[in-house]
Structure 1
Amino acid sequence: MLAGMAVDEAVAAQPRRRRGPGPRFGLILVAVLALLFGVPWATLFWSGNAWPAPAVIAGTLVFVLAAAAFPVLMFRGHGRHDDRCARIADTTLGVLWVLFVWSLLGQAAGAVLALAGVADPVRSRLVTASVVVVSLVLLVWGHVEAMRVSRVRRVDVTLPRLGRGLDGLRVVLITDTHYGPIDRSRWSRGVVEVVNSLRPDIVAHTGDIADGEVPQRIAQASPLGDVRAELARVYVTGNHEYMSGAQGWVEYMSSLGWEALHNRHLVVSRGGDSLVVAGVDDRTAAGSGVPGHHADHEAALAGADPDLPVLLLAHQPQQISGAVAHGIDLQLSGHTHGGQMWPFHYLVRIDQPVLQGLSRHSERTQLYTSRGTGFWGPPFRIFAPSEITLLTLRSAS
């Protein structure tokens, strides 16, 4: 079985030819944008509100212009790394998502009001007012949640194979910092201060450091060089590194004194007992075209004592199947952001086996999935708070 997986991983390591988006993708994009813009527009301006004609015309023009500008801003912002355009596009996307979700819920509430005998335009105006108020509250609160320094989440994890000398080992996990178009240098320094205050033995970063190349984000990323750990600072790539110069980030983290676990491992010891700390590239690495990058569990564990417990860093929870096949004791992952903006987590669960927290996947293998320390894109976190995770490892004895 392991030999078969090795062959699969070797095949996956070959760069895949990238194809441009076809007509189907274009149709899907148009349909998504029509829904994201159309549902809020209908709720706010069209459905039974009986607003004066100038208000309807003005509101419609705003939505039409925003819908036309949005793809251009998104392309320039994330395709050509124009931070100003990216900030506008990302914020627009977040506002649209919240308005879309609560417009749908508002229309459902409107149906209930209709059954109760409440007629238009009172019914539709009540729905519109509710959608606007709830959306504004959630967006303000969600922005504050996204921009604040993450809270500490404390989790105890028992590893039966962990030696008594390593009982109480403190592992601090940060992930998905996503340094990006919004300058969060101060936030980055705050995260480092919290991490250091936890007196970690090991600090792990499981990828998606930034959206952008190293020179673009160096001011935000450089505080990571001040992270202190008794035994090790370790890092693996996430999927966003493969859109932002992955090898550059591997080299930069190494220059800051972090161990870049690019399909490799190290061994930490305390009290006469040892732990293998391994890492694999993100599962998108093989198709990225970056030479030498692909998830390779066998290379990561080559030469490791099979009797020692293994802590594995892998960006995506979906990589847990490889961890189970290779007898990993605990995998640390991020990627999901806990959904970031409710109810997006339902879509995340289609792609990932776990949304957040500690889960078991075999008699030996456990997985801890962080909700992420930063945020991607829209500067909002709604019902999905960020976290800096303190995992205390416990031996069964």
Structure 2
Amino acid sequence: MIRFLLFGFVFTAVMGALNLYAYRRFLRRLHFGTPGAWRAAALFLFIVEVFFVFQTLTHLLPDSPLLYYLLSSSVGVTFILFFVALVYDLMHTAAERIPFQPERRRFIKIGFDLTMIIAAVSYLLDGLIGGLRRPMLRFEQIALGETDAEPFRIVQLSDMHIGLDIRREFVESCVTRTNALRPDMVVITGDLVDRKIEHVAAELEPLKALQSRFGTFFITGNHEYFHGVEAIVAHLRDALGITVLDNESVKIAERFNLVGVNDLISKRMGVMPYDVEAAFAECDPALKTIVLSHQPKSTRVMQHKAYDLMLSGHTHGGQIFPFGLLVMIDQPYLAGRYRVDADKQIYVSRGTGYWGPPLRVLAPSEISVIDIV
């Protein structure tokens, strides 16, 4: 509980600081409107974000997808305003050093202010449209050095964050599109849910209809640990027939070791801790090895292990540009395929859903279609 309260306090403080900066360095300096009106707008935005944090931590407000959508959108608006304010501030400061005549300076400022307002609105609308757009199909061909092997299709679903404003209809759509791809195997690489299992069981029901030759496999993400990971895992395994890889491996068609490792946050949470040694213990060294691990920085704790491909998520590809630059401070890989070293590759999904603000800018959601060739 203390950890969640600390998160709420820090998150609220950060939102307050971003709104204050946006007001002081952008909104109140605009030629249009009045400082009082812009101050009220920034304060209203911050109050909505306080309600967002309150609902995220307590779920005491009405359980309405529309309400959550509106509350969480405020966070995205603040991120966008902050970035626009930063650009405005830098350009405004630079322009002040140029010796223009007062009338010409006023004319240029009006044009510049209008341009920045249009840019901010366009940025926001693009993000909202991107958030509502259904996940793209992202096709990736990956060679693992096999000879004379048949192509093997893996469909990866990641970071769906079901239970807040992402509900059953979204899950049904993803299942239908996944089945149409005729996968050999489906993997769900964490952050599937964002509520306790009793609140999302009905939303998850369509996952029973996932079809593939070798089944559906799941590993935990950090968000499962926030909402009762053991109960979530038990429901997926017992009610939905999904294979949960709890620090363990299975053989797929005598061709791959499929290794699943619990999320890195697990040791801090004190339940279902990740165990790399146990996860790799039963691997057949004669087979190629594919690892499922939610966070890309898992490569650091597995650098001593032999594997060929890791499938991860967690980053959302940054979700709202340029937030990905901050994500890369914590995670070494943001989105797409990378070489870890000469023998290892990693593919990082941008996520099938989203968390928090229902916006995506230059980081479209995806259903990852990985063909091992």
Instruction: Give the TM-score taking structure 2 as reference length.
Output: 0.89
Cα distance, 1:19 vs structure 2? 6.2
C-alpha separation in 2, matches of 1:20 and 1:151: 33
1:142-157 to structure 2, matched below 5 A, reads 142-157=127-142
C-alpha separation in 2, matches of 1:234 and 1:141: 34
Aligned to 1:10: none
Q: Structure 1 residue 302 and structure 2 residue 281: aligned?
A: yes
Instruction: Say whether the 8 Å CA contact 2:73–2:358 is kept in structure 1.
Output: yes
Relative to structure 1, the CA distance from residue 299 to residue 266 in structure 2 (aligned partners, 3 Å threshold; closer, same or farther) is same
Post-superposition CA distance 1:341-389 (Å, at most 9, x none):
0010110000001011111222322111111111110000001111111
1:1-16 to structure 2, matched below 5 A, reads none
Instruction: Say whether the 8 Å CA contact 2:15–2:75 is kept in structure 1.
Output: no
**Count of aligned pairs:** 365
Tell me the SS of whatever aligns to 1:325.
coil
Aligned to 2:209: 226
1:1-397 to structure 2, matched below 5 A, reads 32-43=14-25, 45-47=27-29, 49=31, 51=33, 55-71=34-50, 73-81=51-59, 82=61, 83=63, 86-114=68-96, 115=98, 117=100, 119=102, 121-160=106-145, 162=146, 164-165=148-149, 167-254=150-237, 255-269=239-253, 273-290=254-271, 293-394=272-373
Cα distance, 1:249 vs structure 2? 1.7
Post-superposition CA distance 1:135-187 (Å, at most 9, x none):
22222222222222211111111112x4634x311111110001132143222
Instruction: Say whether the 8 Å CA contact 1:99–1:131 is kept in structure 2.
Output: no
Tell me the SS of whatever aligns to 2:255.
strand
Tell me the SS of whatever aligns to 1:156.
strand
Tell me the SS of whatever aligns to 1:155.
strand
Which deviates further from its counterpart, 111-120 or 150-159?
111-120
Post-superposition CA distance 1:274-306 (Å, at most 9, x none):
21111010000111132xx11112212222222
- AA paired with 1:32? V
Instruction: Say whether the 8 Å CA contact 1:232–1:268 is kept in structure 2.
Output: no
Tell me the SS of whatever aligns to 1:58.
helix
- AA paired with 2:252? V
C-alpha separation in 2, matches of 1:91 and 1:18: 26
C-alpha separation in 2, matches of 1:352 and 1:200: 29
The runs of 5 or more residues in structure 1 that have no matched partner are: 1-16
Cα distance, 1:74 vs structure 2? 3.1
Relative to structure 1, the CA distance from residue 200 to residue 118 in structure 2 (aligned partners, 3 Å threshold; closer, same or farther) is farther
C-alpha separation in 1, matches of 2:30 and 2:112: 10
C-alpha separation in 2, matches of 1:374 and 1:20: 23
Which deviates further from its counterpart, 231-240 or 40-49?
40-49
Relative to structure 1, the CA distance from residue 240 to residue 221 in structure 2 (aligned partners, 3 Å threshold; closer, same or farther) is same
Tell me the SS of whatever aligns to 2:186.
strand
Tell me the SS of whatever aligns to 2:297.
helix
Cα distance, 1:121 vs structure 2? 4.8
The runs of 5 or more residues in structure 2 that have no matched partner are: none
Instruction: Say whether the 8 Å CA contact 2:311–2:347 is kept in structure 1.
Output: yes
Instruction: Say whether the 8 Å CA contact 2:248–2:279 is kept in structure 1.
Output: yes
C-alpha separation in 2, matches of 1:25 and 1:86: 16
Post-superposition CA distance 1:287-338 (Å, at most 9, x none):
1132xx1111221222222221111100000001233311011110000100
Cα distance, 1:29 vs structure 2? 5.7
C-alpha separation in 1, matches of 2:75 and 2:101: 33
Relative to structure 1, the CA distance from residue 126 to residue 248 in structure 2 (aligned partners, 3 Å threshold; closer, same or farther) is farther
- AA paired with 1:132? I
C-alpha separation in 2, matches of 1:243 and 1:131: 39
Instruction: Say whether the 8 Å CA contact 1:153–1:387 is kept in structure 2.
Output: yes
Instruction: Give the TM-score taking structure 1 as reference length.
Output: 0.84
